[in-house]
Structure 1
Amino acid sequence: MEHAPTTAYEGAEVIRAGGPFVIRGTETKRDFGCPMVREGQTISTKNLSGIVEWSPEDLVAVVRAGTLISELQDELATRNQCLPLPPSSNGIERLTAGLTGTVGGLVSANLPTRWDSATSGVRYWVLGMTIVRADGAIAKCGSKAVKNVAGYDAQKLFIGAWGTLGLITEVILRVKAITANPDPPIRCEWDGSAPLMVCRTPLSEGTVFAAGVPNSVLGTQTGTIWAPAPKTIAPPERGWAIFAGHGRHNFGGFGPNEDLMIKVKDQLDPDCKLNPGRMGIF
């Protein structure tokens, strides 16, 4: 059964009434992450779309989570502004934030953009958001103020959480003025049929790590590497790695943050109602 709420309040009613739920936008990130351990009802964000508010003078836009990135970019371009994402002109953009998909997917996946060294990445662009929690409560965090000194930015918990902590319904974004591409173009073809990995290492180690991975493509500005995944998955000693095409082994929490991630999940979704299994460790 698919639910397609039009407001955060409708989403809250759906979540309070049952579960588990699979949260979906346009499914452009389905090759990443782990498959669900429980395929429940679907919550589609397709009706949670549109720009709520945009202040070109302040470079801030309030956007609903189901808004297509391409549509947002077209509207921002009318005032010479944008989200600083590389154009989706070749296969490598399928492995990054890219232009495809929705705002909610962009934030939930938090994939690298290739321009992170110049634009700081998705995590930096999000100033606030509205979330429906697993208990049906609606929470707002952050604000339209670019510099917020009100305490911990709780919205950062949901960036890169792959929908496992809450249903994102609205996002406050910091946008940029359109400028020249900050990085030389990288071309890489990937048809989605073979296992793949994206990893990031410290800049000083990126060249060495990439040299040991056949057919890899290295973004020298950020230390991000795109490459066919080896049969034996071994993430770099430092940094992070995301795999596609390995099912349950795509990625999970590893390293010192795993315990903290589990504690946050236990607080926000103790019954694993939202995207169960998507993060591997929960």
Structure 2
Amino acid sequence: MIETIATAESNTELAPGYRLLTLTLIEDCKISAGQFAMLKPKASIEPLLRRALAVYRVYGPRRVSFLYQVLGRGTEALARVEPGGAVEILLPLGNSWPDAFQGNQSVIVVAGGIGSASVYMVCEELARSAADAQLLFGARNERTALGCGLEDFRALGLPLTITTDDGSLGEHGLVTGPLERQLTERAGQGVMIYACGPWVMMRQVARIAAQFEVACLVSLEAPMGCGFGVCVGCVVAVNTNELPGYGSYKRVCTDGSIFPAETIRWEVNPMAH
């Protein structure tokens, strides 16, 4: 983990409300698929705290990018960063997607909305390794899909199913529909699911995975103050046999952000804290 000042190379709007921020670091940093960073503009006084963003792409030991939705004061401040601007950054943080695809398992990656940012690098690895993998990509509409990096995912060449809530692109409906269909066709055998997206989507993915008795990992989002476990602001409720107490929760920043889906108490949404 390093804390440093990065320089903005570009901060491009992909679609209204969705941007791609590319940064140059001043020292080498090794980042694994699924990890995240805490960042804010160096010149920004308000908001005080940095914002957690999944690392979207790594172009080398000193060049990274972040795909983000402009939603709230933190990301609004990031959206105002111009090329050459300084950005405070702490990275890499959290755990990473495992290399389960190196075995005999098939992998289904489920990306919902801006959750796509967390899964691009693992999709890149899957495509490079010629693994038996496919991507289910869901968004509200065509514009949102483009803002969430759809063209980058298309370029990877993985088998791709697109869904939109309004039917403006791909299948009309939720991304969990093709997931259920795929697992039915495969009888759920030898499948691993990687998922990131809205809480309600991941809750449904977890339910479907349990129904078909397949392994499922989810990358979670939660309000986060520090990013390294001190503030305990990002806890999620987990299933446990212990009496209610400290062991009833896990920190998204240090215990995750990637968890086995069956360990999460999906009826308790951390984003509603």
TM interval, shorter chain, is under 0.3
**TM-score normalised per structure 2:** 0.26
Higher relative contact order (CA 8 A, sep 6+): 1
Which one has the bigger strand percentage?
2
